[in-house]
Amino acid sequence: MKAYIEERAIEVANFIIQSNATVRETAKKFGISKSTVHKDVTERLVKINPSLAASARRVLEINKNERHIRGGQATKEKYRSAPPRAVR
């Protein structure tokens, strides 16, 4: 594995752990795809630093388990801030 990929995987994991970031937030911050974030944490990092990988996966699992709540809150905000619809 190339050195820059190993460094990125470590940086990605540290960011996820420190900020409780989602895969989407992490991908946006680093300018990489969600698939790359997932692969860095679940495959590459396990070979480099298994304990760091386990910590990052715990955060991602928590985020995964809470995503339906965030989606509901986003929908609620969408309809709360939308202008009233005309009634026919």
Condensed to tens digits (0 to 9), the pLDDT of residues 8-22 reads 999 999 999 999 999
From the list 77, 38, 81, 79, the residue with the least C-alpha distance to 57 is 38
Distance separating alpha carbons of residues 45 and 40, to the nearest angstrom: 6
Predicted confidence at residue 80, as pLDDT, reads: 87
Distance separating alpha carbons of residues 55 and 49, to the nearest angstrom: 10
Structure tokens at 27: 């991908």
Predicted confidence at residue 43, as pLDDT, reads: 94
* Tens digit of each residue's pLDDT, the chain (88 residues): 899 999 999 999 999 999 999 999 999 999 999 999 999 999 999 999 999 999 999 999 998 888 778 788 888 888 888 787 777 7
